[in-house]
Structure 1
């Protein structure tokens, strides 16, 4: 015979509901979610995101490297710049930026990173990972 816990209405005033296996499981699950949430929140300030490149120019006279220009926050820093792929017609680039902890002023500063190419840029189009073309030039 299965014993059912009393309903809250049947308990005397001020009495706590008896613990059941289901209630204990729910309590353990909520505690685990709380601990995981605190752990994730602790890591949230130090994050790396991919930033779109806004301009590029040849980094060397022989055009076998590109200088990529990105807009970042005043406390951010470039973590890594890379050539994702090269073909006869396109060069796909990406720049990862480490975001600063805490609040920042809502202004952008421009930062540069240089990447090496397998072949000179020639007439190829430079694109971000999402396929948007990047304009050539140094002036913004």
Structure 2
């Protein structure tokens, strides 16, 4: 297991499977929120389900619509467990808070999209500013 320190975030402590890409993230433009998959053809995760996953992405993009969409996805049970960013923005922070979704950013050890691999088991503790990566799990 490796432990990554990050800026304290928001939302509950969660554990799940990582889904990682160097791409940026917009709930409005990158997702089919009814099917629960990435749908933008140019996104590295196109066709993959984000439901119940720990998303690990570069940065957030988008405005207020992407924030309320996180809440809407959570209300239908079609949301990720958490989102980890190199850099989040205040809009996505508001959306994660509204959706009661874990979100953290600003990792001390470098680019989070290279520190975690798809399929790894990850525990996210936003209050502690801590992410545990269970290698080989």
Q: Normalising by the residue count of structure 2, what TM-score does the alignment of the two structures yield?
A: 0.23
Q: Which structure has the larger Rg?
A: 1
Q: Which has the higher contact order (CA 8 A, sep 6+)?
A: 2
Q: Normalising by the residue count of structure 1, what TM-score does the alignment of the two structures yield?
A: 0.22
